[in-house]
Amino acid sequence: MAHPRLTPRVQRRAALAASGWVALAATAFPGGSPLRWIPVLAFVVLAPGLALLLPQPLGLRPGARLEALALAAPVSLSVATLVATTLFLTKAFSLTVFLIVLALFVSVASTLPGVPLPAATRGAVERDGARSPRFKMPLFRRRGTGGGG
């Protein structure tokens, strides 16, 4: 029986879902080690936003990929702030709990379709003359020196 091949899209989603668990495993290294803080920092700053934005149903145009990458960090930091604030208010905050909650969020979000991006549905960068404008800008008359209407 032949094994089904995983498409690159499924591989990216699986890698994104696994990134949180890798970051959680990296906390086993000593405190100041780059092997600990680099995966955790990269996961917290990028993974939640990428999980929400990238699994687009029809793929992304080149300009939309840049938009999604630029938007991933602020969205990720917003999600991380909400999780951290909730854990602080419930007096349950610790790095381990924080990473577990974010890893669960990313694992679930990476299996769902992404939030639609405006540049994904239209060309992110339009070439001059590629499309005719939907409306024309009105032409204004130049006033005379008298200043009247």
Condensed to tens digits (0 to 9), the pLDDT of residues 11-48 reads 888 899 999 999 999 999 988 889 999 999 999 999 99
pTM: 0.72
What confidence score (pLDDT) does residue 126 get?
A: 47
Is the pLDDT score of 130 beyond 70?
no
Task: Label residues 17-26 b or e (16+ Cβ within 10 Å = b).
Answer: bbbbbebbeb
Beta carbons of 98 and 84 less than 8 angstroms apart: yes
One-character DSSP codes across 101-114? HHHHHHHHHTTSPP
10 Å CB burial of residue 120 (0-12, 13-18, 19+) is buried
**Encoded tokens for 105:** 């969020």
Beta carbons of 53 and 115 less than 8 angstroms apart: yes
Is the pLDDT score of 134 beyond 80?
no
